[in-house]
Amino acid sequence: MRLEQITIVVEEYDPAIAFFTDVLGFELVEDSPSLTNDGRPKRWVVVRPPGAETGILLARADGERQRAAVGDQAAGRVGFFLRVDDFDATYRRMVDAGVRFVTEPREQPYGRVVVFLDIAGNRWDLLGPA
């Protein structure tokens, strides 16, 4: 058993793809035409960290309820956790790319951590070794 993918609801596909690939360094695994359940065109867009098995489906918000979830998928909590081997280099690269951090880096028993916002406004922990 494995977790294959999760969904992050975004406003638009292309800016989200650029954030995850250019800023975070994820791979674009798939970007294919698809259809909504009622037959309207959409895209099936999946990104994932290099070497990871679990992907993130970037789903463009469809309708008012989904638009309301953009940036608040975990109700204001950190809902996503990105672990890296080189915390300092990754943090510097993200700062240089204009990523918005909502805390300062700090040491915790489980390693270094800082909270950042993705392009939609969801909170993530960037985690590194102690």
Q: What is the CATH number of the domain that holds 60?
A: 3.10.180.10
User: With 90 as the cut, is the pLDDT of residue 13 above it?
Assistant: yes
For residues 9 and 56, state if they share a domain: yes
Q: Provide the domain count of the chain.
A: 2
Q: Taking the model in full, what pTM does it have?
A: 0.93
Q: pLDDT tens-digit profile of 52-95? A: 999 999 999 999 999 999 999 999 999 999 999 999 999 999 99
Q: pLDDT tens-digit profile of 83-101? A: 999 999 999 999 999 999 9
For residues 12 and 51, state if they share a domain: yes
For residues 66 and 26, state if they share a domain: yes
Q: Return the half-sphere exposure (C-beta side, CA atoms, 13 A cut-off) of residue 48.
A: 15
Per the structure, the complete domain to which residue 47 belongs is given by: 1-70
In angstroms, the Cα distances linking 61 to 7, 13, 42, 56, 109 are: 11, 10, 10, 15, 37
User: With 90 as the cut, is the pLDDT of residue 36 above it?
Assistant: no
